[in-house]
Amino acid sequence: MVTRQSIVTWSWLRLAVAALILIAIATQLTASISAALASPTPHGGQLVTVLTNFFSYFTILSNVSAAVALLVAGAWGVRQSSDAPIEPAAIGRLLACVTTYMVTTGVVYNLLLRSAPVGT
């Protein structure tokens, strides 16, 4: 049986995971910017390229999508006041799509990219 407490608990877990994903993305972005500024090439062009590349990676886009989906689903659950509300189908579809993106990212990384050297 779905209780109000279980919905709230899962909602807070979703929000916590979304926060962790956003912290990880911000940490990686900070490291990428620091590396670009430390490079001997002119900072302006290098920084623009790093930022453009950073936000074009499917890994980053899928993680941002996951964070947004978890924020939406978590906020919906926390705001519910009735016992055993039914999650809207749109949230279920959103979570299913994002899960597909994240599974694809994980499979591609583990099969193709795990041993690839990371260069600057």
pLDDT tens digits, 47-72 = 888 889 999 999 999 999 999 999 99
pLDDT attached to residue 64: 97
pLDDT at 80 over 60: yes
Task: Give the integer Cα–Cα distance in Å for 50 and 108.
Answer: 22
Query: CA dihedral in degrees (17, 21, 22, 25; nearest 10)?
Result: 170
pLDDT attached to residue 17: 98
Question: Which residues 6+ apart lie within 8 Å of 51 measured at CB?
Answer: 33
Collapsed DSSP state (helix, strand, coil) of residue 116: coil
pLDDT attached to residue 47: 80
Inter-CA distances, 104 with 52, 54, 90, 111, Å: 22, 18, 21, 11
Task: Give the integer Cα–Cα distance in Å for 95 and 22.
Answer: 17
Which of 18-27, 39-48, 75-84, 100-109 comes out lowest in average pLDDT?
39-48
- State pTM to two decimals: 0.84
pLDDT attached to residue 42: 61
Comparing C-alpha atoms, which of 67, 66, 88, 68 is closest to residue 77?
Answer: 88
pLDDT attached to residue 91: 95
pLDDT at 77 over 80: yes
Task: Give the integer Cα–Cα distance in Å for 1 and 5.
Answer: 11
pLDDT attached to residue 119: 60
| Pairwise pLDDT comparison (41 vs 58), residue with the higher score | 58
